[in-house]
Amino acid sequence: MSIRTLDDLLAEGVSGRRVLVRADLNVPLDKQTGAITDDGRIRAVLPTLRALTEAGAKVVVFSHLGRPKGAPDPQYSLRPVAGRLGELLGVPVSFAEDTVGDSARSTVDALADGELALLENLRFNKGETSKNDAERGAFADQLAALGEAYVDDAFGAVHRKHASVHDVPARLPHVAGRLVLREVEVLSRLTGEPERPYVVVLGGSKVSDKLAVIEALLPKVDKLLIGGGMCFTFLKAQGHEVGTSLLEEEMVGTCADLLARADGKILLPVDVVAADAFAPDAAHDTVPADAIPSKRLGLDVGPRTVAAFAEVIGTARTVFWNGPMGVFEMPAFAAGTRGVAEAITKADAFTVVGGGDSAAAVRALGLDESSFGHISTGGGASLEYLEGKTLPGIAALED
């Protein structure tokens, strides 16, 4: 199986053609002001959009944002994204008030060569996420009617069997955009024969969310470093008390089994920052990981853990990181994530940040994005790729 690329489409000529681009513009918005708080996903699709507009295509961009319930919801409108996209591109971006209705059709019809329009949130239509093939297909028919070719540059959505990702490419000539192609190339390096030592750093809140990827990676990695909220279930599996820390009691046995099978590959925190409450101003101290006070909860890994993790990362030739080490959004509990991230930037290795909260942490902590080998735009998609799952959006691009 092979996947045609944006360069293949450009070589055929796109001047005057309506080209649909599925982008992932699912950016975080401030709940009070509605302002975009992190435009990383918008920036990630710019190379594909610029290539198409410069070649004279009439570019029609569509995306989801948030989780509306299949009907219009103003808090999830893509209108702020249209404004930011125009600022970054330096050209006006037309905005359609709907996805496949009168506004979409008239907006697309009005495009001149080299111009770009953004349609309203795909998930305002039930057909986008429907599990019914016919309902999803009917919506895909309406989307496909707006264009003459299809480009998927929404890596963050390729693990979803949604109309715009899975069904539209079956109806139009289809290619992978610059971003999707780069993501697949990078993750293929991790699933193939990565240069060793291969070190994976996993954080985040729940073991259950990462169990499949841990199972898939354990035979392939040299070391697996575990922090974040999920570490407390592993610490409990070792027989330690974890106070009021986040704990998945039903996963303790699974973690014990993983530790038994890991043959020393799994490294857990040796100290944690334990607080009185889940609050930015909560009283807190660094304590040994096996001595967390009964009425306190761990909100970050401690400095001894950062040093131990950094030592392992420093020996690596390949590093994959997914998930923060603590509640980095609160300054008092951000040091663990910052310390581990900085160790990754200093490693003489091919380094990949696995999207989601990890990518958000890189930007929120003011770290230099260019000091990482690759920052994925798709947390869930990157994990499922590493698990070896078939991603519907990638499969749909194969010929």
Residue 34's pLDDT is 86
Residue 240's pLDDT is 97
- Across 281-298, average pLDDT: 97
Confidence of residue 355 (pLDDT cuts 50, 70, 90): confident
Q: Pick one of 1.10.510.10, 3.40.50.1260, 3.90.420.10, 3.40.50.720 as the CATH number of 186-387.
A: 3.40.50.1260
CB atoms under 10 Å from CB of 69, counted, come to 10
Sheet holding 350-353, edge to edge: 266-267, 223-226, 198-202, 318-322, 350-353, 374-375
Q: Are 231 and 269 in contact (CB under 8 A)?
A: yes
Asked whether residue 297 carries a pLDDT value surpassing 80, the answer given is: yes
Q: Which residues are annotated as a binding site?
A: 24-26, 41, 64-67, 123, 160, 210, 298, 329, 355-358
CA distances from 248 to 57, 92, 206, 254, 314 (A): 51, 49, 7, 10, 31
Give residue 185's Cα distance to chain centre: 16
Share of the chain above pLDDT 70, in %: 100
Asked whether residue 363 carries a pLDDT value surpassing 90, the answer given is: no
Residue 201's pLDDT is 97
- Across 113-129, average pLDDT: 98
Tokens (6 digits) for 49: 């959009």
Q: Which of 328, 318, 326, 325 has the alpha carbon at shortest distance from 360?
A: 328
Tokens (6 digits) for 144: 């496909």
Read off the pLDDT of residues 138-150 as tens digits, 9 standing for 90 and up: 999 999 999 999 9
Bridge partners of 287?
272
Read off the pLDDT of residues 312-352 as tens digits, 9 standing for 90 and up: 999 999 999 999 999 999 999 999 999 999 999 999 999 99
Asked whether residue 378 carries a pLDDT value surpassing 90, the answer given is: no
Asked whether residue 186 carries a pLDDT value surpassing 80, the answer given is: yes
Read off the pLDDT of residues 57-93 as tens digits, 9 standing for 90 and up: 999 999 999 999 999 999 999 999 999 999 999 999 9
Residue 224's pLDDT is 98
Asked whether residue 31 carries a pLDDT value surpassing 90, the answer given is: no
User: Which amino acids are annotated catalytic?
Assistant: 41, 206, 356, 380
**In the chain, where does DSSP find H-type helix?**
6-12, 40-54, 79-89, 102-109, 126-129, 133-144, 178-191, 207-217, 231-237, 252-261, 303-314, 335-346, 356-364, 379-387, 392-395
Q: Which residues are annotated as a binding site for ATP?
A: 210, 298, 329, 355-358
pTM for the model stands at: 0.89
Residue 269's pLDDT is 98
- Can the peptide bond before residue 197 be classed as cis, meaning omega within 30 degrees of 0? yes
Q: Are 298 and 273 in contact (CB under 8 A)?
A: yes
Q: Which residues are annotated as a binding site for (2R)-3-phosphoglycerate?
A: 41, 123, 160
Residue 364's pLDDT is 87
Asked whether residue 40 carries a pLDDT value surpassing 90, the answer given is: no
Q: Which residues are annotated as a binding site for substrate?
A: 24-26, 41, 64-67, 123, 160
Residue 399's pLDDT is 79
Q: Please determine whether the domains at 6-178 and 186-387 fall in the same fold group of CATH.
A: yes
- Across 295-313, average pLDDT: 98
CA distances from 88 to 61, 115, 319, 385 (A): 15, 14, 31, 30
- Across 293-308, average pLDDT: 97
Residue 1's pLDDT is 52
Any idea where the domains of the chain sit in the sequence? 6-178, 186-387
Residue 380's pLDDT is 87
pLDDT, averaged across the chain = 95
Q: Does domain 6-178 have CATH number 3.40.50.1260?
A: yes
Residue 379's pLDDT is 83
